[in-house]
Amino acid sequence: MNIAVLGIGLMGAPMARRLIAAGYQVTLWNRTAAKAEALAGPGVRIALMPADAVRDADLTITMLENGPVVEAVVAAIGDALKPGSLLVDMSSIPPDTARAHYETLGARGIAAIDAPVSGGPSGAEAGTLAIMAGGDEEAVERARPVLVHLGRVTRVGPPGTGQLSKLCNQLIVGAAIGAVSEALILAEKGGADPAKVREALSGGFADSKILAIHGQRMLDRSFIPGGAASVHLKDMVTIQAAARGNGLDLPLASLIHRLFEDLCRNGEGAKDHSALFRQIAREAGAEDLI
């Protein structure tokens, strides 16, 4: 099977490395060519244009920055994709955009599924990503033998629902970051050792990856980006749009959206999304903890 991977960034690069290691013939394209060229080797072809990358591909994976970028790339490759081939978009984009790609490409005899992921760069390196797949069952099963090299695949429903699941993921993650931030601020201002509070909570009902990983980042005041706050803000905007489209008003999502918006407005959008701690500390009257 020939595979094309479009987007060789923080997530796309380790994902591509895993597919190369699994023995697939892989063609790589990235807007900044040097990132793709860094993976050059046996079984790897580097394409200068996205359409060139997909011409011989049985399966194309896109892992791109946002919805508009995905739309532009899908438009650029549409005529080059082989009839009968499969497009797997693993970017995080609006559900409506994913459904539009399914319809447009399907009319040309090309199957499409939306399969965004959770787990970050470390999960991509380890092949332990949570992959949320939306699309026809037959198409998801066709992609599964490839995707299992990247993580655990769960079909969650028809086209667009993979992206909807990713929004659910981001809502939970954002709310958990906010809750951990407030808890550690309360602990420190109340006179407890916040590191020991985090340790005490480990293994209990409040334990989570957010407490373990992002809680440590908050304690260290180290917010080197894994997932940038600006990207999480983009997801919160999409969550709000999806809620309105389904006749919902989600109060917690609205609060988290506003906090990320203010964090980015304060010039901290390039920091890790766990830097929400800093915005919450400001609003809690705990600026001395920033």
| Catalytic residue check, 166 | yes
Are 167 and 140 in contact by the 8 Å Cβ rule? The answer is no
pLDDT at 213: 96
Q: Which whole number is the average pLDDT over 110-128?
A: 96
pLDDT tens-digit series, residues 270-286: 999 999 999 999 999 99
pTM: 0.93
Contacts of 133 (CB under 8 A, 6+ apart): 113, 114, 115, 140, 143, 147, 153, 154, 155, 156, 162
Flag whether pLDDT at 255 surpasses 90: yes
CB atoms within 10 A of CB 264: 20
pLDDT tens-digit series, residues 132-185: 999 999 999 999 999 999 999 999 999 999 999 999 999 999 999 999 999 999
pLDDT at 227: 87
pLDDT averaged over every residue in the chain? 97
Active-site pick, 35, 166, 234, 271:
166
Are 178 and 278 in contact by the 8 Å Cβ rule? The answer is no
Domains, the chain, ordered by start: 2-158 (3.40.50.720), 164-289 (1.10.1040.10)
According to DSSP, the residues that pair with 4 across neighbouring strands are 27, 60
